[in-house]
Structure 1
Amino acid sequence: MSKKEGDAGENLAAEYLISKGYRILHRNFRCRFGEIDIIASKGSVVAFIEVKYRKTDRFGKGFESVSQRKIEKILKASQYFISTNQDRYHYRYDVISIDNGKITHIENAFSYE
């Protein structure tokens, strides 16, 4: 997938989140530990969101491609974000999968243990 297609998927995910009442805090948050596609808040919850975009389901659904290695990078990057932001929130880890134009938002897709 090209960067342009990835950006298009992230744009769709951001629009979806906004329509559901979320506020986008960061897009493509990067630090030395990794990258988080979208960080969004709704009420007292901050969600760290991985976005997966697929034009077809030929290789499975987008959410099925979130590897353990990717999860570990997101967890490390989110811990860095939390340590540098002193706001008090509840945190969770979501995946937004966009497959053939259908958006699936999986809240609490994985957790920090």
Structure 2
Amino acid sequence: MLFTKLKAKAAHLIRGENAEEQAHNFLINKGLKPVSRNFRCKQGELDLIMTDKQSLVIVEVRFRKTDKYGSAAESITRAKQSRIIAATHIYLASQKTDRPIRFDVIAISGNGNIDWIQNAF
């Protein structure tokens, strides 16, 4: 008899997926068009890739239950920004695009507040 091991997803991963879905829907409602989600490479991950008019928008989604240790937006360090930029270079190497690039942040707090920071870095 064969048994398949099922792994339960950790709560923080489920919260992260929910936050990304919430951000995705929020941006679509603001007029952005989805291109890709969760692009992964050795350098890191790009949460959402969208277009806004002529720009290709790389979106980092952050969720924080509380601001006790800093806000969601404050959690994006210079090192994190560098990883996002490096992953963007890898993504662009596989794409044929001459669009301008913009880096946005969607910061979601535990009370459901969404802060959209355009041209965040």
Structure 1 residue matching 2:70: 3-state secondary structure: coil
Instruction: List runs of 5+ in structure 1 lacking aligned partners.
Output: none
Q: Could you tell me which amino acid in structure 2 is paired with residue 96 of structure 1?
A: I
Q: Matched residue pairs, number?
A: 110
Quick one: which amino acid aligns to residue 66 of structure 2? T
- Report matched runs for 1:19-58 at 5 Å: 19-58=29-68
2:89 is equivalent to residue 79 of structure 1 = yes
Runs of 5+ in structure 2 lacking a partner?
Answer: 1-10
Structure of larger gyration radius? 2
Once the two structures are superposed, residues 27-60 of structure 1 have per-residue CA deviations (whole angstroms, 9 ceiling, x without a partner) of: 1111122101111111111111111112222222
Query: Which residue type is aligned with residue 82 of structure 2?
Result: E
> Given the two structures, how large is their TM-score scaled by the length of structure 1?
0.92
Is the 1:55–1:101 Cα contact (8 Å) retained in structure 2?
no
Asked whether 1:92 is paired with 2:72, we answer no
16, 35, 38: which one pairs with 2:26? 16
Q: Distance in 2 between matches of 1:62 and 1:47?
A: 19
1:109 equivalent to 2:120? Answer yes
TM-score, structure 2 length as denominator? Answer: 0.86
What corresponds to 2:74 in structure 1? 64
RMSD: 1.1
Could you say what secondary structure the match of 1:86 adopts? Answer: coil
String of CA shifts for 1:51-94, please: whole Å, max 9, x gaps: 11122222221000001111111000001111211122110111
Question: 3-state SS of the aligned residue for 1:101?
Answer: coil
Percent sequence identity over aligned pairs: 36
